Structure 1
Amino acid sequence: MVRQSSQEVERAACLWAARLDDGPLSPADQAELDAWLEGDVRRLGAFARARAVAVHSRRAAALAGGAIPFTRAAPKPVLSRRGLIAASVSLLAVGGAGALGAFWKRAQPFETRMGETRVVPLDDGSVMTLNTLSEGDVRYNRKAREIVLNTGEALFNVVADVGRPFVVRSGEAAVIANGASFLVRKLGEAPLQVVSFGGLVELNGASGEGLKLAANTRALLADGAQPVRTGEVDADRELAWRHGRIQLEDETLSRAVREFARYNATRIVPADPAVANLRITGLFVANDPVSFARAAAGSLNLDVAVNAEEIRLSRRLA
């Protein structure tokens, strides 16, 4: 495939933004947009910029008429599983505290099924990319942009807006950002993880004390604790899931098994603790646990047994 020039990327991004501005995309068009965004690292930023221009143009036109219309797509029961599509999520043009309270009750839910990832353009031009088994709500109004991530993992590319902070909430934590790119991961009882890839990113715990993150650094926040920096990260490794991959770097098999379980119903089972503590490095296809198990068996001198219920890794008999 011929690599697009920067001008071609920007032009295509503007066309996609215009199509989305006309209304929700069909499932086929949404799949085409997802594939286009994943095909080149430059495209997501270009698309976010194009969406921001479209939103600001609408607001400027509204100001000329003396009012700012806040519109939202036709209501759907839920944006879930196969039904999650790009949607406008801002307030209808009605005033008063009662209307604002009603808006928060109509927050737009999102959800991804096992093994699914989704790119979700937001109404301000920002983009949210969801990993497998993620669930929460989008809550936008005139004064704030808020995402509630109950569980899962999401990458945010946030358009700067001084008048409306962008906040991602998960449990007691609040991540405040502006003009930034960052990842939020909340998996089970594990501490919340936040990774900054650049821009203004601040992690706040229940006490309200904030921790500012430099680019390509990670912070953890356990319930009731203060946020703690854990050092620099490899951006490609952190975001391998966007391309359907799991990148392991000297990880134990038990850790690798937990990661594959996020994407697959078929379990990988180490036969004993000694096998579980073996370490592996490599780049693997997230939805192919059999190939991973066979690669692990080959590199670690293990036996692999596959049946309808599980994939079992055990010590190789002499």
Structure 2
Amino acid sequence: MEGNGERPALTGDPREDALAWFVRLESGDADPADRRAFADWLARDPAHRREYDRLAGVWDDLDRVPDPRQGPRREPRQGPRRITRAPRAAPTRRRFLAYGMAGGAAACAAGLGGTVAMTAWAGDIRTATGERRTATLDDGSVVNLDAGSALAVDFSPAERRVRLIDGRARFVAAPDPGRPFVVACAGGELATSGATLILHRQPESAVAAVEEGTAVLTVGTAPPVQLLAGHCRSYGLGGLGGLGGPGGPGPLMPDGVAAETAWRQGRLVFQGQPLDAVIADLNRYHPARILLWDRPLAELRVDGSVDVTRPDAALNAITRILPVRTLHPVPGLVIIRSA
């Protein structure tokens, strides 16, 4: 049905058939007979129009929103640059397609099985798709920001606070025993007087790791947990894969620090990650937006290592090892659905 001149085969499921018609009509090959058949399909059942309008509405929203994928992709910066505080610009909106944040994230997500997540794309430092950046903060701390990431800096005389809004970052906190360095992310805080930390925000959890030194991880009302050099834990809505209990830190993740720093060598490493978290990471490097169409796919597990310069190869591998297939209905959109 993708540009082959054939009318889409309908299944009788309004959601599935809406997707089939969307692919056909957006392919550029639809003829007047297709459009008449589509109009007849819409008229047969109010659910048909409801499902199609929800899908088309999501795509229209994406067309109206600036996206960091537009424009030429930049190579990772090689040298650090110093960041000083400036008046914060008015926030822009970045909407990326992945599996929904906890609870579905948006009203239109209900019509797509909770597949749309919207993230505020705002911060003192941010990177575009495929871009990595090194920045030096006012206190001398150094931040390595992964692609598609954003953070806000709020230093005061009492503490040095940074909020990771999206993506992943590595922090080399300058020693200051009298003023802790605190990174807030997804309802948790990682605090230190001087250490090398990694925070990684995922769709329904976050990962905290300590490369050097020590830090304290606090999540909600759970008791604080000390992280030593080489320690890595997930936390959030059930922790990574539900291992941490509701909101609390999960168990230590073997080789977690190595996996969370591999992006600095140009690789993404997945260790039993749910597919929604994998897609969220790929969306930060892939020039198209990737959408998980079927809700149950989110919990499929992925192990492997991905070259960040070849995100399409990662998608091909996913379709080989998991019961999924990809659709490319329009330029800039990849839909992953059940095979």
The alpha-carbon deviation at position 140 of structure 1 amounts to 1.9
- Within the candidate set 236, 240, 243, 2:262 is matched to 240
- The 3-state SS of whatever aligns with 2:282 is helix
AA aligned to 1:200 is T
1:165 corresponds, among 165, 177, 180, to 180
Normalised by the length of structure 2, the TM-score is 0.53
Whole-Å Cα distance in 2 between the matches of residues 222 and 244 of structure 1?
A: 27
Aligned 8 A contact 2:151 2:162 in 1: yes
Query: If the length of structure 1 is used for normalisation, what is the TM-score?
Result: 0.55
Aligned equivalent of 2:62: none
Equivalent residues of 1:173, 1:205 under 8 A apart: yes
Matches within 5 A, 1:1-318: 34-36=77-79, 73=84, 75=86, 78=89, 109-170=124-185, 172-188=187-203, 190-207=204-221, 209-222=223-236, 225-249=247-271, 256-267=278-289, 281-296=303-318, 308=331, 309-310=333-334
CA separation of 1:80/1:291 partners in 2, compared to 1, >3 Å: closer, same or farther?
Answer: farther
Matched with 1:85 is none
Q: Percent identity?
A: 24
The one-letter amino acid of 2:263's match is: W
CA contact (8 A) 1:186 1:193 kept: yes
> What amino acid is aligned across from residue 192 of structure 1 in structure 2?
A
Gaps of 5+ in 2: 1-73, 93-122, 238-245
Structure 1 residue 191 displacement after superposition = 2.6
Rate the CA distance shift 1:79–1:199 in 2: closer, same or farther, 3 A. farther
Q: Deviations over 1:166-206 (max 9, x none)?
A: 11123542211122111112334x13321112212101133
Structure 1 pair 222/301, CA: closer, same or farther in 2 (3 Å)?
closer
* Structure-1 residue corresponding to 2:5: none
Q: Is the 8 A contact 1:80 1:112 kept in 2?
A: no
Q: Matched residue pairs, number?
A: 226
Contact in 2 for aligned 1:205/1:225 (Cα 8 Å): yes
Separation (CA, whole Å) in 1 of partners of 2:324 and 2:185: 40
Task: Label 1:160 to 1:290 Cα distance change in 2 as closer, same or farther (>3 A).
Answer: same
Q: Report the secondary structure of 2:171's partner residue.
A: strand
C-alpha distance 302-151 of structure 1, shift in aligned 2 (>3 A): closer
Cα distance per residue 1:75-100 (max 9 Å; x no partner) = 4554999xxxxxxxxxxxxxxxxxxx
Q: 1:229 to 1:116 in 2, by over 3 A?
A: same
Q: Equivalents in 1 of 2:131, 2:303: separation in Å? A: 24
Asked if 1 retains the 8 angstrom alpha-carbon contact of 2:75 and 2:132, the reply is: no
Deviations 1:210-260 (A, max 9, x none): 210122222233367443433333433211222342223455656533431
Deviation at 1:300, TM superposition (A): 7.3
After superposition, the Cα gap between the structure-2 partners of 1:79 and 1:219, relative to the gap in structure 1 and judged at 3 Å, is: farther
> Which protein, 1 or 2, shows the higher relative CO under an 8 Å CA cutoff with sep ≥ 6?
2
**Root mean square deviation, CA, Å:** 4.1
Q: Which residue of 1 aligns with 2:56?
A: none
Residues 76 and 131, structure 2, Cα contact 8 Å, conserved in 1: no
Letter in 1 for 2:227: L
How far apart are the structure 2 equivalents of 1:157 and 1:258? Answer: 25
1:101 is matched with which residue? none
Q: Name the stretch that deviates more: 271-280 or 152-161.
A: 271-280
Corresponding residue for 2:38? none
Q: Does the C-alpha gap of structure 1 residues 277 and 161 become closer, same or farther in structure 2, counting only changes over 3 Å?
A: closer
Instruction: Measure, in 2, the Cα distance between the counterparts of 1:226 and 1:238.
Output: 19
Partner Cα distance (2:317, 2:222) in 1: 46
Any idea what the Cα deviations from partners look like across 1:43-101, whole Å, max 9, x if unmatched?
Answer: xxxx9xxx9xxxxxxxxxxxxxxxxxxxx9484554999xxxxxxxxxxxxxxxxxxxx
Q: Which residue of 2 aligns with 1:64?
A: none
Letter aligned with residue 162 of structure 2: I
- Residue 297 of structure 2 contacts residue 337 of structure 2 at CA under 8 Å; is this kept in 1? yes
